[in-house]
Structure 1
């Protein structure tokens, strides 16, 4: 006996181009993450979340950010960011700092070792992005893609000025 799967009819609110865009965006995201992980991060023993945390910290004054703000930028729960930072702290890439004016606040601070790690990763990361994009898109198209994606709700949240301008 075969099972028949019934799919809802596409409504007028969700057009076929929207479904296609969503599917392509999800596929591109998965492919980019896989390449970044396997080609750049795994050889250094890092995950994508580790890398994103280090990048966010590197772009802040004093290389420090409140842990709650870092969790928001990484879309992690407070316990998720604690686990992430525990691993980075164990590796010597970040350290924990207390707030001198509010005992409830703690900071994640990028260490000199963390800065050195980012410097080692930077060239490979830039080369990966260049090879992935330049094979299919010219510079103007990449800028247009970034601008279009930036219009989606929530995409700009968590980006610092350097991210938005890059």
Structure 2
């Protein structure tokens, strides 16, 4: 493949990412969420509780980044912190009732967006997309 073809694919890929992020940001803002919150909401809706370090690892961000995000979410009543009953040094983060309701909204937003993006793909095209995306991830990882 020549350099121009690679540049063309990279340009389309960049446009795709920017379009996706723009739609996600707009829809989340309509729901009163900042773009960093859905990841935390999703993880906590799956595992029910996690430490800050566990969240940082699952979301591939620094603990400092998670700390700032959690402060905002706690202020907004989406999460609460609970001390471990067995080890007082450990604090877990959990969704509040409001956070659980937001998880339902977030899941629906992403379900609709995913269907909008991939709903007209055949099974073979979905398999090809997964293969290509995994290959891209592998190429870009350290």
Same fold (TM over 0.5): yes
TM-score, scaled relative to structure 2? 0.79
Over 6 Å off, 4+ runs: none
Q: Which has the larger radius of gyration?
A: 1
Residue 82 of structure 2: which of 97, 101, 123 is its match? 97
Shift of the 66–18 alpha-carbon distance from structure 1 to 2, 3 Å rule, reads farther
Map of 1:36-51 to 2, 5 A cutoff? 36-39=24-27, 41-51=28-38
Helix, strand or coil at the partner of 1:48: coil
In structure 2, list runs of 5 or more residues that go unmatched. none
2: CA distance, partners of 1:141 / 1:106: 44
Q: Which moved more, 1:103-112 or 1:66-75?
A: 103-112
Shift of the 139–79 alpha-carbon distance from structure 1 to 2, 3 Å rule, reads same
Partner of 2:134: 150
State whether structure 2 residue 110 is matched by structure 1 residue 125. yes
**Larger helix fraction of residues:** 2
1: CA distance, partners of 2:10 / 2:116: 23
1: CA distance, partners of 2:11 / 2:73: 33
Helix, strand or coil at the partner of 1:65: coil
Question: CA RMSD, aligned part only?
Answer: 2.8
